[in-house]
Amino acid sequence: MVEYPQWVANIVPVPKKDGKDAGAMYQRVIFNLFHDMMHKEVKVYMDDMIVKSRTLDLHVNDLQKLFKRLRKYKLRLNLAKCTFGVKTRSYSNS
């Protein structure tokens, strides 16, 4: 175990019963489905997605593009964890 909290978090991977790593699989799926939008319209960190746009019109278009992609692959958002209409914000996992 690495104990350098200022540099990395201590992580203990827990494999599923079938031996697969669900987190890595999720990241691969998200990358494959949204690779063309990442670092442009969408930022992804683990299971968080942020749609960023310079104008309201662009933001509506970017959200429509994201929602269309989610529907295409039958993915759902947890509305209890969604926030809409934020102009600027600093995001952290704390």
**Per-residue model confidence as pLDDT tens digits over 35-66:** 888 878 888 877 788 888 888 899 999 999 99
Q: How open is the CA angle 58-59-60, to the nearest 5 degrees?
A: 90
Compute how many other C-beta atoms are within 10 angstroms of the C-beta atom of residue 41: 19
Q: According to the model, what pLDDT value does residue 86 have?
A: 79
Task: Work out the burial of residue 40: count CB atoms within 10 Å of its CB; fewer than 13 is exposed, 13-18 middle, 19 or more buried.
Answer: exposed
pLDDT band at 13 (very low <50, low <70, confident <90, very high): low
- Please compute, for residue 66, the number of CA atoms within 13 A of its CA located in the half-sphere on the CB side: 21
